[in-house]
Amino acid sequence: MLSLIITAAIFITPSHTFNHPFSSFSRSSIIQNTCDDHKVLSRTTVRGKFDCGAACGQDADCQRYLYCANNARCMLYLDGTDCIMNGDSTGCYCYSKAFGYTGTSITCPLGYYGNNCEFLYKDCHEAWENGVNIDGKFALMTIQPNASSKPFEVTCLLEYDGGSTVILFRTSICKHENFNRTMAEYEHGFGSVPLNRWIGLTKLRAIINYRTPDFEFRLHVLLFNTAWLPCSSFYLGFEVDNKLSKYSLDIAYKGDIPCGDSLTDLVGNPFSTYDSDHTGSNKCAQRFGGGWWFGNTPNCTKSFLTGTMDGSRVDNFWLDNLSGECLKKSVVFLMPYPN
């Protein structure tokens, strides 16, 4: 992606002990959507996009800004890379901070740290342990687990629980994201619609298999039924096998299950997609769409969280104990739990 670097003037005399008198920004994209979960830090009217950049540059908390020429509106945000807008984006610009220096403190994009933003956290948990927090529930963060050759962006849940990494996020509020995808896409991860993402099997494995020995991840499933009532269930010893073993599901045992348990039955099942369907003549992945640990049975599965959410094909469901409910929202995340 082409990134245009601009520098925002800092209206202070740079101290000689710092080598970074400027903040730098990269141009990012504007995504059309009705849902935007990002918290606005400030909303002002300015003379132009450079003044908006300067405002973000001088605010240590600002990671991104959106400026629209038609109303001279300048919005500063706490996190995120791309901007979300609903409506005409002509004359609007989105920039994210690649490096920030206010004269006294350095701001790195979420997930990066160090005096030159040269280091990356290994997962949301490590970031949380080091004091990264966002006033709000979810934050997009770049991480790089040991097993991964490249950094990648994940949704972190930083609020209260030690820094959880979200592996699957679905909500019916946002515009539709296609979840009927190939195995290659399920391996890599996808989701450009805000809050509708699948982390990717390779990335998921990199996070769970290279954790430190002093904690384990609990797999939490948070579901909202048709009436938007939430419930959650969690599991211990969650593992996903390697590619050779077809990313088979393993769960050691279940914890609290207020939603019921529709996952333990799938233990040992390989992960299937329409182009890599391991359910024989039952053709579960082809019939259901999406990617899941379908069984080679006529019923295929007791749970399915990568279906549609608009009733167009097979919707998301969790038969035990939300039978018949078409889920409005589901969040599956890895919550660190000390051993």
Task: Output the residue with the shortest Cβ distance to ligand NAG.
Answer: 289
33 preceded by a cis bond (ω within 30 of 0): no
Comparing CB distances to ligand NAG, the nearer of 188 and 283 is 283
Smallest distance, ligand NAG to C-beta of residue 327, A: 16
Smallest distance, ligand NAG to C-beta of residue 29, A: 26
Question: Strand pairing partners for 74?
Answer: 44, 67
Smallest distance, ligand NAG to C-beta of residue 315, A: 11
Q: Hey, how many other C-beta atoms are within 10 angstroms of the C-beta on 115?
A: 11
Do residues 43 and 71 lie in contact, with contact meaning Cβ atoms separated by under 8 Å? no
Smallest distance, ligand NAG to C-beta of residue 130, A: 15
Helix (H), strand (E) at residue 187: helix 183-188
Smallest distance, ligand NAG to C-beta of residue 252, A: 19
Smallest distance, ligand NAG to C-beta of residue 17, A: 29
Comparing CB distances to ligand NAG, the nearer of 62 and 221 is 221
Distances from the Cα of 16 to the Cαs of 19, 20, 87, 104, in angstroms? 7, 9, 45, 11
d(C-alpha 49, C-alpha 256), whole Å = 51
Burial class (CB in 10 A: 0-12, 13-18, 19+), 228: exposed
Instruction: By CB under 6 A, name the binding residues for ligand NAG.
Output: 146, 180, 210-212, 257-258, 260, 274, 286, 288-289, 297, 299, 313, 320-321
Comparing CB distances to ligand NAG, the nearer of 153 and 261 is 261
Comparing CB distances to ligand NAG, the nearer of 288 and 294 is 288
d(C-alpha 323, C-alpha 118), whole Å = 49
Do residues 327 and 170 lie in contact, with contact meaning Cβ atoms separated by under 8 Å? yes
- C-alpha torsion sign, points 28, 30, 31, 37: positive
Comparing CB distances to ligand NAG, the nearer of 260 and 336 is 260
Comparing CB distances to ligand NAG, the nearer of 7 and 232 is 232
Smallest distance, ligand NAG to C-beta of residue 320, A: 6
* 3-state SS string for 86-123: CCCCCCEEEEEEEEEECCCCEECCCCEECCCCCEECCC
Comparing CB distances to ligand NAG, the nearer of 131 and 324 is 324
